[in-house]
Amino acid sequence: MQAVSVRASMRGAILTRDSLLADSIINEVQSLCIIEAVEREPEQILARLADGQFHALFVHVQTEGEDQAFGLAEQVRRVHPDLHVLMVGDTGNPKQILRSLRLDAADYLSQETGKRHFLHALKRIAGIEENSRNGFIYSLFSHKGGQGVTSLSINVADQIFQIAGGKVLLLDLNLYLGGTGAALNMVPDFTPYEVLRDFSRIDEELLFSAIFRHARGFYLLPAPVEVSDADRVNREQLTSMLAMLKKYFTHIVIDLPHDFTGRTLAAVEASDCTLLVMEPELLAVKSAQQVLFFFQELNYGENRIRLVLNRKDSSSTLQPEDVEAVMQQPLFATIVNDRKTMSRASRKGEVLAIAHHNRPVTTDIRKLTSSLIGIDSKGAAADKKIFAFLRKLWS
Ligand SMILES: Nc1ncnc2c1ncn2[C@@H]1O[C@H](COP(=O)(O)OP(=O)(O)O)[C@@H](O)[C@H]1O
Ligand SMILES: [Mg+2]
């Protein structure tokens, strides 16, 4: 019970014209924070803040009067720098999120989901971390372009969600030439990198309101549209960003660029498993061999680097056994060559499992995914029950 006495020690204020919102904040945070002032006008709030020691201020931002709300928040940030300002929007509005970050607000919360997020945000501010998840990271890589890294990443992410449920994120690290957004037929109007750079101030609410969710159920963090955004993410930020994302996602699938920049290496380092993708073609296999040696030299560990032969074809000179002999490592998975199906799906901006779920190429990717997450997807009844249970647990 000691925790309770520590928790009830904050004092807070709210600016809103919405008494229902005020009531829900008051009720939700009461174990941690006593709300001593609820005001409708910015001047009234400023007056209240002047006469007491407050720790947190919730500022309701409505589209109408948005500038006024942000104006107040800015004033408060300067005059009372120790006070935590939490912006509360009616929906997860990207412009408001960015504006909140720029003004160094402690958080931006949207009312949309109806979850108990006010308390969660305050706990974070007070340094009372809640138990967090520790998701898996799987990355896909090839040094040579055009081996199918993007196509496989998309479909592996989709399959993980279909098999295991949970919160699955497809992360496109091709910061200059991202392909996942285009391959899935979606142009995000807001690139979350800008938000993610400020990872230390991001919580679950903000994260999920900023990240696009595909109709199939997995989340997608596409590459930034503007090239300049890419340069703002360095190796250290990427490492911290992945550590943060692991807390919120059960599985993260990374579509890696074909380079050896610090960002790429940081992602491989953070991955539970990296799939090295190659086609059965001499130059591609040679390049993969060099990559494997390089990763081994960096001590990434053999069992964390797995080999995937994509576009397997009975007519190609190099057969799976040959590739294994060259690589001196067994293949983790093989994916059959099926140009027609692949290009049909990508033309439509769809994942394979929608219109092509019975094609061998789709089955191969499903098998690869099952091995990756260590779950047999053949669908025994018992498994289905477990998946249903897992889904509930993670949703
Ligand atoms: N198993 C496959 N069978 C046939 N074509 C494939 C297969 N995997 C990928 N492709 C095709 O290869 C091309 C390159 O794939 P992509 O995923 O963009 O590669 P990368 O991201 O490695 O550059 C695309 O046209 C894609 O449709
Ligand atoms: Mg690609």
The H-or-E segment that residue 69 falls in is helix 66-79
Confidence of residue 380 (pLDDT cuts 50, 70, 90): very low
Q: Does the CB atom of residue 346 touch ligand 1 within 6 A? A: yes
Q: Which residues pair with 212 in a beta bridge?
A: 220
Quote the pLDDT of residue 298.
87
Ligand 1 atom nearest residue 142's Cα = 22
* CB 244 within 8 Å of CB 132: no
Give me ligand 1 centre to Cα 338, in Å: 10
Q: Does the CB atom of residue 345 touch ligand 1 within 6 A? A: no
Picking from 283, 304, 281, 282, the residue whose alpha carbon sits closest to that of residue 292 is 304
Quote the pLDDT of residue 79.
86
Give me ligand 2 centre to Cα 108, in Å: 33
Quote the pLDDT of residue 234.
79
Q: Does the CB atom of residue 335 touch ligand 1 within 6 A? A: yes
pLDDT digits (tens, 9 = 90+) for 262-299: 889 999 999 999 999 999 999 999 999 999 999 998 88
pLDDT digits (tens, 9 = 90+) for 112-127: 765 558 888 888 887 7
Q: Does the CB atom of residue 361 touch ligand 1 within 6 A? A: yes
pLDDT digits (tens, 9 = 90+) for 302-318: 689 999 999 999 999 89
Question: Residues with Cβ < 8 Å from 302, sequence gap 6 or more?
Answer: 296, 329
Give me ligand 2 centre to Cα 237, in Å: 22
Structural domains of the chain sorted by starting position, each given as residue range(s) with its CATH number in brackets: 2-125 (3.40.50.2300), 136-394 (3.40.50.300)
Q: Does the CB atom of residue 347 touch ligand 1 within 6 A? A: no
Q: Does the CB atom of residue 150 touch ligand 1 within 6 A? A: yes
Q: How far is it, in rounded angstroms, from Cα 149 to Cα 287? A: 14
Does residue 82 carry a pLDDT above 80? yes
Q: How far is it, in rounded angstroms, from Cα 251 to Cα 164? A: 10
Ligand 1 atom nearest residue 147's Cα = 22
Give me ligand 2 centre to Cα 151, in Å: 7
Confidence of residue 90 (pLDDT cuts 50, 70, 90): confident
Q: How far is it, in rounded angstroms, from Cα 264 to Cα 141? A: 9
* More confident of the two residues 303 and 321: 321
Ligand 1 probe mutation, 144, 149, 151, most atoms within 8 A of CB: 151
Give me ligand 2 centre to Cα 13, in Å: 49
Q: How far is it, in rounded angstroms, from Cα 58 to Cα 49? A: 12
Give me ligand 2 centre to Cα 247, in Å: 26
Mean pLDDT for the stretch of residues 85-106: 84
pLDDT digits (tens, 9 = 90+) for 218-245: 998 887 656 555 566 778 888 888 888 8
Picking from 262, 206, 207, 208, the residue whose alpha carbon sits closest to that of residue 238 is 262
* CB 390 within 8 Å of CB 165: yes
Quote the pLDDT of residue 254.
96
Q: Does the CB atom of residue 165 touch ligand 1 within 6 A? A: no
pLDDT digits (tens, 9 = 90+) for 127-154: 765 556 689 999 999 999 999 999 999 9
pLDDT digits (tens, 9 = 90+) for 171-190: 988 876 677 777 787 766 55
DSSP states along 231-263: HT--HHHHHHHHHHHHHH-SEEEEE--SS--HH
Stretch among 244-248, 250-254, 269-273 having the lowest mean pLDDT: 244-248
Q: How far is it, in rounded angstroms, from Cα 232 to Cα 286? A: 33
Measured from the Cβ of residue 82, the count of other Cβ atoms closer than 10 Å reads 7
* CB 44 within 8 Å of CB 134: no
Whose Cα sits closest to atom 9 in ligand 1? Answer: 148
Give me ligand 2 centre to Cα 277, in Å: 11
Quote the pLDDT of residue 2.
35
Does residue 379 carry a pLDDT above 50? no
Confidence of residue 5 (pLDDT cuts 50, 70, 90): very low
Does residue 57 carry a pLDDT above 60? yes
Token pair listed for 391 = 């889904």
* CB 25 within 8 Å of CB 14: yes
